[in-house]
Structure 1
Amino acid sequence: MSSSAIGSSISIREVTKRYGAFTAADRISLDIEPGEFVTLLGPSGSGKTTLLNLLAGFQSIDSGGIVVDGKPIHGVPVHKRGFGMVFQSYALFPNMTVAQNVAFPMRMAGVNRAESDRRVAETLDMMRLSEHASKQPSEMSGGQQQRVAIARAIVMRPKVVLMDEPLSALDRRLREEIQIEIRALHQAIGSTFLFVTHDQSEALTMSDRIAVMEQGKIVQVASPEEIYRRPRNRFVAGFVGESNLIEAEILRREGGALTLRTRTGHQFRAESRDEVTGRNVTVLVRPERLRLTDTSGPGTIPARVVSALFLGEVLRIEIELDSGELLLVRCPDRAGHALPAIGSVQHVSWGAEDGWVIA
């Protein structure tokens, strides 16, 4: 997070929101530090936008509470919470110029013209929009319009910035470019950012921490590295990145390391949390952690190639073990490294540090 954080602390405690018989937010608790960038990540209907709207004040809480900088915000109107908001739709005023759109919050707050002009110019420069100040939104690309929407949200230097899937309408290249810009912007201004997305790559790229949501609950909160490398359960493992889930039996426990055996008798080691119990477990091995060769060796398992795709920077290869289990391998494209033939026999292996026991 920013070393000069101006952001607010946020404490969400046992927050519940129901729509009839449907519980959109189910006793959610989450603490966010001043100046932190936290992403709510989950599929449609998981409750992430509902939680954002409860914090913004667009919807009312059924039970629980939200405290910002030590003060409850229940009953505080939206316009008095002082949050910056960036929506999925750009929500720009079509009859205003870029500069006028960005200046709008300053005008509503009664900021004098000289100060407003200074702030707007500074913010447009920060968002690389200075040369577009006199344009109408209709004269700009989608990426430029989204930059205007972000500029309007931060021009008042709010302590909290809320973003609801702001990049979903953009193409991949532009989305990745603006992800980097948002991350740099967060570090520059030091506000607390709460970002909503269903795109795991966005969450991994920008966040200090990620809160993964499922069916109205937060199922894991951790750094991007922890979420990806050590997911708490099958849902997190499957939703964040591509996964190989291997069924195995525990033979020995040595602290956080386990010796395991697959259904075909292959023995290997993997890391785990202390609370993993039971004899039969599921082991996560990410596709990029698998090593594939055309020769057998110690610790390798024979497998048949089911599919092989060239994706540019990586090769995506699906293999089938003798047990019938399918594994996905992703390896970087290398000079002289051809795609294996469909139906050919390869040998796959991984190290103890590459496996993670999730259940």
Structure 2
Amino acid sequence: MEEAPTSPPRLRAQTEGATLRGRPRLRLEEIAEHRVVKSGVRVLRRRWAAEVCELPPLPKRPNGSPMLLGSAQSFFKRLLSQQLELQTSLPSDVSAAQRDIRHLCLEHLLTIRDDAADFKTHSQSHEAHNSFLNMIDQRLRELCCSKFMDPKQLDEVPAEDKQRLGHIVLLVQGAAAVLAGQEPEAASFAVSSGRVPRQWLLRSPIAPWRACWLRLPSEEETDTLESASTTPSSSSSLHRPLAGGLELRLLGDEDLEHLHSHEEVAVVWDRPTSSHLVSIVSGTSGGRGLGWEIAVAAPESSLMEELQAMEKGSSANLVGVGGSAGINSPLGQELVEVLERRKTAPALRPSLVPPLPAAPRG
């Protein structure tokens, strides 16, 4: 999770009477993306690896012997028990442990990443530490995708795209927490009346799927993580919650045509900020800022119509350096060309998904 420029982030929350296409509106503007992702990591850690709970043991082989190498076993044991800080660890120890990151589970990765959330340095003496954290981030995104996506649909996703979907999980979870005022660093930004929806709809980064749909767990569901995550899979159990209520699905056009939600849905209009646009066109990611307009769609709204409006609104309001860069401006056209090239990835067969679960009654 790279640091963005040091300019103070700004958050504009929902205000009474504020609407987007007649919908209640939430807004994130010019907030560093790494900060939102950091909030997502923290929220997931609370649910999956709370400090008051005992973490799962480090992995073992079938014969009961440790799977990790001797030095790595000791390193991760001390790191996870907070007897050791990554910042003060010897580069040789960090490098030796890096190869075993692939054996860690989601709870381990969330704990390590959250504890090192504020660690950043470009010093050559910490090159091993930065490489270690980069690998932690990659593996964390992969597991977020694998953990929260339906296994049948997961098989349709190429390995290289799982990190992108896992990143969306962290981003949406963090955005919901920031908008709801759950993060201490965002406490000074007031959020007026209205709760943040649990269901989110975003444009899919993977062709040919049209959208990403996420359902965030309620507070009540966090108390039943173990039972939900161990419920046997069944093809007839269309509303079975995955991984404690957090679900990720990819939707094609046919899915959206017949899909109506029984709850409010947060439809994200991604309006690129100046730093966001520059990072996409130049191929860098260090300066990415987040600019989200979020329309709250009412229950039973047509999600296809909402998505079409979102796509039109997002593409027609590109923001460039020094002001507005319309879709027909040179900078806007350059961005469009880059995005179009991304769409030329090998076609995937869209996977139909079951209807969204109905809201619990009572």
Structure with the bigger RCO (C-alpha within 8 Å, sep 6+) is 2
TM-score in terms of structure 1 length: 0.28
TM-score in terms of structure 2 length: 0.28
More helix by share: 2
